[in-house]
Amino acid sequence: MKTLYPLSLIIAASFFLSSFNRAEKDINSSKNTTNIAAVYNSDTDNLEKLSKEFFKRYSDLKKYKSDIMSLYKKRALGTIWFDEDQINEFGSVLYEKAKKTNDLNIPYQKEIDELFSSSETKLSKIDADMLLSSLYVIYTQKNNSDSKKKISYNDTLKDFLNYSTIEQATASTTENVKVEYDQYYKLQDVLKKYKKLDRSNKWKPIVPEEVPYKDLRPDAVSSTIVQVRTRLYLLGDLKNDSKSNIYDRELMDAVMKYKVRNGFKPNYILAEEHIKEMNVPLSDKMETLKLNMERCRAISAQIASSDEYVLVNIPSYELVYVKNGKIQLTSNVFVGAPLTKTTIFNGEIDRIVFSPYWTIPQSIVNNELKSKMAEDKNYLAEKNMEIVNGQVRQKPGPDNSLGLVKFMFPNPDDIYMHDTPSKTLFDFEKRTFSHGCINVQKAKELAVAMLADYPEWTPAKIDKAMDGQKENSFKLSKKVPIYISYFTSLVNENGEVGFYQDVYERDNELDKILHTEEAVGIK
């Protein structure tokens, strides 16, 4: 799914989007990445200093000191519960498991809760990781309290991080793996089908007839068409396999179905990238399904308890608005670039702002606007901008970088959702343009759907509020949960599975932890 972006669009997108403080925050956070393992293995004095300072701050954990510090011995990676600067899936699962364990006395519960809430935490990555390690030790002790054997925390941790229970979860008996979020079981069903398909030995690599490869279009005749037809039949996109080598109407419909569910641009062209995607081994697909089943377990309780919510899935660049158990609206979105990733977290939408102002980050003012303002005294007026209290802001209007409506949900990274005048960016397959905020293609439609239970907000009033003349902020009487998630595979309401690009390489990082003993660091 590689896409080349016109430079002008990239420059425009960077100018249009907010949350520029995320980049600066990422830089600051990267300064606090001391490798615990390196300290442990290279310098006993430094290790002692590190642990002494930690257990001085968290004195109630001193009795667990030996067990906690032993977890980091000979580790190839410095932290256990972090991928880069974010808590990994294992940390989230540990937290959820601990919350569901009765009579579990957890020191510094408030500090640990803050790590998984939308409120800002002042903890360093090392303190956060060691607090989660203490949670792990306490949780393990509780679950092994009936055993007379001495607990080997390293061996238990290895099992925990390897998730051998994933295979058990896909078996026919699931009494002990109750998951509220039904997406888990949809993925499980697909996994069973893929295992059966793998055992059938019908999955053969597609070998293109043309070298170098040439795009195939409707009415083309090629042996490649025969192979593509068989592949789409096995995947369920095609009801019958006629073995025809002609790119006919029947195959066109199947190709479109395949592309839509996998996040490709909806057209009938069969490019080389589509053949490569079809040739991804079933074993890889099954691993992806397992990873995403675990993600379902981590967030299931929150989504299951919400009768209304917004779900944004980063890899599929899609937003879904659900109310009373039914999908009310879906919309394309574009999200943060790899260097300014959209944060994965849960929050609550509490305000909708129509015809918003955009306060321009000082970095853009210094790097771009000052020189233009010096060259042209009318520059700000021409761009519908003004200076208020020493800050440059763009006034409401159709060309405002935030569009005509934004959706606010308090969070430490100042991320929010908003409309955009850059509609052409939604035409790209890979939509990572922003500095962290979520740009919504159907922003107006989302506002209308969310305000359906507010009689005063008629369509006419919404249109007037979005006329770009004056900012109008409305506080919701009932906050709407929002879940910014990262699923590289999902099953839609029709039972069709989609596999999406691992745009932030979170699957790769998780896979290293799952399958590489060196990455786990326990020998």
Catalytic one among 274, 296, 435, 437? 437
CA 376, 377, 380 angle in degrees (round to 5)? 90
d(CA 38, CA 31): 16
Q: In the beta sheet, which residues pair with residue 58?
A: none
DSSP, collapsed to helix, strand or coil, labels residue 254 as: helix
Q: In the beta sheet, which residues pair with residue 394?
A: 358, 385
Question: Which whole-number Å values give the CA distances from 112 to 77, 98, 322, 523, in the listed order?
Answer: 22, 11, 30, 29
d(CA 124, CA 53): 13
For the question of residue 437 being annotated catalytic, the response is yes
Per DSSP, the chain holds a count of helices (H) and strands (E) of 22, 16
Catalytic one among 274, 296, 418, 435? 418
Question: Which whole-number Å values give the CA distances from 38 to 25, 43, 74, 75, 225, in the listed order?
Answer: 25, 8, 8, 8, 54
Q: Which residues contact 408 (CB under 8 A, 6 or more apart)?
A: 349, 350, 351, 352, 353, 416
DSSP, collapsed to helix, strand or coil, labels residue 399 as: coil
d(CA 415, CA 407): 10
C-beta contacts of 94-100 below 8 A and 24+ residues apart: 94/132, 94/135, 94/136, 94/139, 94/160, 95/132, 95/135, 96/297, 96/298, 96/301, 97/139, 98/135, 98/138, 98/139
Q: In residues, how long is the chain?
A: 523
> Given CA atoms 347, 351, 353, 357 in this order, what sign does their dihedral have?
negative
Sheet holding 391-394, edge to edge: 358-359, 391-394, 385-388
For the question of residue 296 being annotated catalytic, the response is no
Task: Indicate which residues carry an active-site annotation.
Answer: 418, 437
